Amino acid sequence: MADRRDFLKASLLGASALAVASQTSTVRAASKSAAGARVISTWDFGIAANQAAWSVLAQGGHALDAVETGVMVPEADLKNHSVGRAGYPDRDGHVSLDASIMDADGSCGAVAALEHIAHPIQVARRVMERTPHVLLVGEGALQFALEQGFKKEELLTPESEAAWKEWLKTAQYQPSVNSEVHDYGKTGIPGGKGNHDTIGMLAIDAQGRLAGACTTSGMAWKLRGRVGDSPIIGAGLYVDGEVGAATSTGVGEEVIRNAGSFLVVELMRQGRTPQEACREAVMRIVKKRPNASKDLQVGFLAMNRHGEVGAFAIQPGFSYAVCDAGRQDGLVPAKSVY
Ligand code: ASP
């Protein structure tokens, strides 16, 4: 519709007049059409991701397109060693990626242990839209991606390879708390640091549609074939347009054990605020494994169908980025158990 209007104006006004007119109308249209839209995502690298998502929401775009566009930013970021290209590899040196995407009506798609494809979130969306399935893994996921026209690439960068070789010297696998914060942008961290990281992103668009996306290279130095929570619908991501959406970051095994994101959404359905729901899901993890929980991080992030947001984590240090018509780069520290 907007394109058609612009075309008609062009024939009437001429090119230069159109440039001014369409600029003004784009700004007006953006602020008007973005009212009520909001995007949130995990960790400080979520700020840049949110801004990419916002470019979709500000045009009145669909939440599903926004989250896909948004999480592609850290997937492509060579300084981010735990999402997409340049992600730290598994124990055997393979970069293997997990991702999922979900729409408000329950449509969803995911890939797990996918190698050689730079944007697993795009493949997850293709699984959702072009197959009768929800989750493709490993070789089959790669085969599907190649059939869909994605390019096979080497995702292990020299920097990530060097970090892996350094780790091999001690080969101690020990997931650490908030590696996202400590290690982001650093190189060559041997075992114990940089073990895990994820971007989970939730958005509501101006029409009130919710969607979510989650993508990660999972825990660094993981066993080959290990799959975390991020591509498991209900664990790392869940969206129900009638209630809200949730996503998680941290030690995926703990999130899977408790169907974490599904639990958060169900708690919101029962009347909890997003933060209360995240807190209760975190407490479920802590209650089941009180000793282990002292040393591990899990954070949940949630948004209800009104666009209200909240988060909670086991350990301090988890933050999430918020972007809406009022703020483009807000970073909010989440409350935590300890
Ligand atoms: N949740 C991710 C996984 O377990 C990693 C993380 O967020 O730290 O694969």
Mean pLDDT throughout 105-112? 98
pLDDT per position as a tens digit, 46-61 = 999 999 999 999 999 9
pLDDT for res 174: 63
Judge contact between 301 and 41, C-beta under 8 A. Answer: yes
Burial class (CB in 10 A: 0-12, 13-18, 19+), 172: exposed
| Within a domain: 32 | no
Q: How many domains does the chain have?
A: 1
pLDDT: which is higher, 296 or 111: 111
| Within a domain: 59 | yes
What CATH number has the domain bearing residue 232?
3.60.20.30
Which atom in ligand 1 lies closest to the alpha carbon of residue 179? 8
pLDDT of 3 above 80: no
pLDDT per position as a tens digit, 215-231 = 999 998 999 999 999 99
The boundaries of the domain holding residue 292 are 37-336
70 lines ligand 1 (CB under 6 A): no
Read off the tokens for 207.
């029409």
Ligand 1 center to residue 2 CA distance, Å? 41
* Residue 95 half-sphere exposure toward CB, CA atoms < 13 A: 27
Choose the weakest-confidence range: 120-134, 177-191, 203-217, 277-291: 177-191
Provide the H-helix boundaries in 106-259. Answer: 120-130, 138-147, 158-170, 179-183, 252-257
pLDDT for res 170: 84
Residue matched to tokens 């060579």:
78
The predicted model scores a pTM of: 0.86
Mean pLDDT over the full length of the chain: 87
Best of 249, 295, 298 for a ligand 1 pocket test (most atoms within 8 Å of beta carbon): 249
Read off the tokens for 234.
């209900």
pLDDT for res 89: 94
- Secondary structure element (H or E) that encloses residue 101, with its range: strand 97-103
Mean pLDDT throughout 168-179? 67
The rounded percent of the chain whose pLDDT value lies above 70 is: 83
Name the nearest CA neighbour of 220 among 194, 248, 200: 194
Question: How does residue 31 score in pLDDT terms, banded at 50, 70 and 90?
Answer: low
| Within a domain: 17 | no
| Within a domain: 7 | no
pLDDT for res 125: 98
What CA–CA distance (Å, rounded) separates 118 from 152?
8
| Within a domain: 44 | yes
Ligand 1 center to residue 218 CA distance, Å? 5
| Within a domain: 305 | yes
197 lines ligand 1 (CB under 6 A): yes
| Within a domain: 210 | yes
Question: How does residue 130 score in pLDDT terms, banded at 50, 70 and 90?
Answer: very high
Specify whether 198 is catalytic: yes
pLDDT of 324 above 60: yes
| Within a domain: 31 | no
